[in-house]
Structure 1
Amino acid sequence: MPDYDELTAFLGEWGPFQRLIFFLLSASIIPNGFTGLSAVFLTASPEHRCLVPDTVNLSSAWRNHSIPLEMKDGRQVPHKCRRYRLATIANFSALGLEPGEDVDLKQLELENCLDGWEYSKEVFLSTIVTEWNLVCNDAWKAPLTTSMFYVGVLLGSFISGQLSDRFGRKPVLFWTMGMHTGFSFLQVFSVNFEMFTLLFALVGMGHISNYVAAFVLGTEILSKSIRIIFATLGICIFFAFGFMVLPLFAYFIRDWRMLLMAITLPGVLCGALWWFIPESPRWLISQGRVKEAEVIIRKAAKFNGIVAPSTIFDPSEADHISGLLRTFS
């Protein structure tokens, strides 16, 4: 008894329909590549030091020596999390004493960055670190956002397959695509670290679920030889393309909110693919929806300029094929 691949072999291997599906499904993964490494730029920690307010009356010498030095990579750099006690050095400044000459700086009392931090804008204009001061005692929060993203990826990898088996490959592909894009868009308007982190976990769930749904849909629609290329090169290369283009976006857009907006917008465009990407005929047959599967295959044959057989799935064999597909899906 012929299997699904034999019954649909008349479509050919690499016709216009197969090329369209190959390209569109692969291209829909580019935004996933953007998100996969976006945390490198969104959560970057620029060089920083304690802020010394202009309202504090200090001489230029004391202002230049208001931050203690520490050893880093064999050289002395300003401390990132401590400063000399401002009340003390302001008093010395008022008395006309000079730092290092009249006052031994090593003996001065230190205090935390009570007035916040000043950040270098040489590389980044802003990141979530500079937005919410995720440094010093709160430095653990920035890497936590990345960890939560991958917690979302883990959870999404558990449920995406079950969802696509239950509701179909195409609906889950676009639901999770919308989830990935929608929650990324909401991140742009985050008002605090907690909101950003929670949304990032939800983005991670959509990120992996979208990828898995596109992967499965492509391998089920495309023919044997092409699905191998799709699974090993097509979808992976387009994902990697997103990785490669992301630094270009980040080079020209140094503000984290604008950068996130820029890498989110391409996902909105992918919504238009709903009208070009069909449901998996294999999945439809496994659900007993043979007529719907046949309509898709006949449209594919017409797109390829091929005349489909009058009968694609013999009713007497349809139940058997459906059972086989349910077994291996």
Structure 2
Amino acid sequence: MGFSDLLNEVGGFGRFQLIHVTLLSIPGLLMASQNLLNNFTAGIPGHFCKIPNITSLAEARNLSELSRADLLRAFIPLEDSKLSKCSRYAQAQWHLLSENSSHYEASSNETETCLDGWSYQKNEFISTIVSEWDLVCKLRPLKQMSQTIYMGGVLTGAIIFGGLSDRFGRKALLIWSYFQLAVLGCFTALSPSYLAYCIFRFLTGMSVSGIILNAVSLKVEWIPTKARTLVGTISSFFFTFGQMILAGVAYSLKDWRKLHVAVCAPHFIFFIYSWWYSESARWLVLTGRSDEALKQLHRVAKINGRPEMAEKITLEVLQAHMQKEVQSSKTMYTAYDLLRTSVMRKISMCLMVVWFSTSFAYYGLAMDLQKFGVNIYLMQIIFGAVDFPAKLVALVMLSFLGRRLTQATCLLASASVIFANIFVPKEMQIVRTTLAVLGKGFTSASFTCVYLYTGELYPTVIRQTGMGFVSTMARVGSMAAPAVLILDEVLPALPSIVYGGSAVVAGITAFLLPETLSVPLPDTIEDVEEKWGNKSQRFKKQVQNEMVAFEAEEQTPGEHEDGKPAAL
């Protein structure tokens, strides 16, 4: 008898659970927007050096009939048949406007940096933080740094809000996280400087972690065990669909300040209706607040159409059902227990590599859509849509091929696609885009697998601690991914080499993990050590036992088991 039995008595997955899960999942539509927002708020518009008074200079030479694009040839050198983005001629080269001039004639002229700033094209973006604070040329790494700082906030939030939710409750921290994201997200749109923008994004990232962690806990702790897989799968589709919604919202606004308000202001609505949520009754009992837990259970029973259960479930009944959970909560486990024993240490180290590389490759592909040369808004929709079939295929593979082979296959397949894209010419945009979409699909499938795989590898007594420990590596990977994009200044293919190499290492590492398909979940650390301990040691012990038995038989040759002489 446990808390799951009480949930079944008050209606199982009834009306309350359906409303509860739906309201908790809706904000997930905007969680993906927060993680991928940098694709649009920090998009790089077409740009070139600003030329002051270009019109008056042309009129002085009676060239006012020429278009602005033609006049720029006299001020800005060409690179790959396009206007240079980071340099201009020290003096105007008017002779280049004549029909007999050539690019080679101008190549020897002295150039200088963009001393007067840059002019930005507004066909793809009206305004981004790049055009706002001139994050181009030498300052281009600051574009990626803003995303790394945001992901640092996500990591910090996971550490801080995870501990606070165990102390103050899931509902309280979730309500606060909604409010923090709504307020600070809108303040981000008012940022007067790049530094202020990064600070607000860091704090916004913290609130994103608070929402995700506590929403998941409230879902899991209020639904029966049998419904968890289905609810988890459906909830993940909210994140996937949110990626497609982001593309539509970004296309309609094209201004980074308005876009921030659009994806953050709705959290005021979530903040208001989140007061309807019920605090986790399981958490209330484990923290000594059984009276409040009983009230929440009675409320759930009434909403599910089982009011008679409010009289049957008393404080004594609740405590009797929760006795096992209360006893297990008295034994404290820490992250040290994940590394204390040999098998647990091996599992934890391997999972750290898998989680890091999965997130690293995922955001490496998803955070720089402009490099594929396709309309960035269309690319975002395609990247979001591919997650639907990828997750369904992953579920089929997990059921028939097992966890280990599926995990390794997804990682190695994503690595092969990333490497293949290095050798595809930029002119073959369809091929490059197709490979990028496949890579994104494989990394999404890897995420689907690793969540399930991790939960099955860690024992019940330390499963949540283990999940938090290894998922931290995923957040470290998401922080490192945008920073690696800076390496394209050294060698354009270098980021892809790093992303692909990381996925290869993780794919090979996944083969070192034990298989969990059709294997009962371990409950204790001792179960893990016994179930997946060193096979060579077990084989050695088996051989020793067989040798002892053989020697015993050799000591009494020619005799049967009954002690009688054997027939010749």
What is the alpha-carbon distance in structure 1 between the residues aligned to residue 83 and residue 131 of structure 2?
18
Q: How far off is 1:116 after superposition?
A: 1.0
Query: Per-residue CA shift, 1:245-289, capped at 9, x if unaligned?
Result: 000001111111111111112111101223321100000000111
What is the aligned partner in structure 2 of residue 257 from structure 1?
A: 257
Give SS of 2:329's match.
helix
Matches of residues 75-154 of structure 1 in structure 2 within 5 Å? Answer: 76-85=81-90, 88-89=91-92, 101=101, 104-154=105-155
What letter is aligned with 2:76?
I
What is the alpha-carbon distance in structure 2 between the residues aligned to residue 311 and residue 181 of structure 1?
39
What is the aligned partner in structure 2 of residue 323 from structure 1?
A: 326
What letter is aligned with 2:187?
L
What is the aligned partner in structure 1 of residue 193 from structure 2?
A: 192
What is the aligned partner in structure 2 of residue 23 from structure 1?
A: 22
What is the aligned partner in structure 2 of residue 11 from structure 1?
A: 10
What is the alpha-carbon distance in structure 1 between the residues aligned to residue 126 and residue 157 of structure 2?
33
Give SS of 1:240's match.
helix
Q: Point out the more displaced range, 54-63 or 172-181.
A: 54-63
Asked if 2 retains the 8 angstrom alpha-carbon contact of 1:183 and 1:203, the reply is yes
Q: Verify: 1:66 aligned to 2:80, yes or no.
A: no
Q: Point out the more displaced range, 310-319 or 289-298.
A: 310-319
What letter is aligned with 1:314?
E
What is the aligned partner in structure 2 of residue 243 from structure 1?
A: 243
What is the alpha-carbon distance in structure 1 between the residues aligned to residue 208 and residue 321 of structure 2?
35
Give SS of 1:49's match.
strand
What is the alpha-carbon distance in structure 2 between the residues aligned to residue 112 and residue 99 of structure 1?
27
Structure 1 36/18 Cα, relative in aligned 2: closer, same or farther at 3 Å?
Answer: same
Query: Per-residue CA shift, 1:45-94, capped at 9, x if unaligned?
Result: 011001111266244466432110112xxxx1110000001xx32xx65x
> Which of these two proteins has the greater Rg computed from alpha carbons?
2
What is the alpha-carbon distance in structure 1 between the residues aligned to residue 22 and residue 175 of structure 2?
16
What letter is aligned with 1:224?
T
Q: How far off is 1:98 after superposition?
A: 5.4
What is the alpha-carbon distance in structure 2 between the residues aligned to residue 62 and residue 266 of structure 1?
46
What is the alpha-carbon distance in structure 1 between the residues aligned to residue 96 and residue 145 of structure 2?
47
Give SS of 1:180's match.
helix
Structure 1 216/289 Cα, relative in aligned 2: closer, same or farther at 3 Å?
Answer: same
Q: Verify: 1:57 aligned to 2:52, yes or no.
A: no
Asked if 1 retains the 8 angstrom alpha-carbon contact of 2:76 and 2:88, the reply is yes
Identity among equivalent pairs (%): 30
Q: Point out the more displaced range, 170-179 or 277-286.
A: 170-179
What is the aligned partner in structure 2 of residue 180 from structure 1?
A: 181
Q: TM-score, normalised by structure 2?
A: 0.53
What letter is aligned with 2:302?
K
Q: Give unmatched runs, 5+ long, in structure 2.
A: 64-69, 331-460, 465-568
Q: Point out the more displaced range, 58-67 or 187-196.
A: 58-67
Q: How far off is 1:122 after superposition?
A: 0.9
Q: TM-score, normalised by structure 1?
A: 0.89
Structure with greater proportional helix content: 2
Structure 1 97/267 Cα, relative in aligned 2: closer, same or farther at 3 Å?
Answer: closer
What is the aligned partner in structure 2 of residue 272 from structure 1?
A: 272
Q: Give unmatched runs, 5+ long, in structure 1.
A: none
Q: How far off is 1:168 after superposition?
A: 0.4
What is the alpha-carbon distance in structure 1 between the residues aligned to residue 237 and residue 313 of structure 2?
38
Asked if 1 retains the 8 angstrom alpha-carbon contact of 2:15 and 2:303, the reply is yes
Asked if 1 retains the 8 angstrom alpha-carbon contact of 2:130 and 2:143, the reply is yes
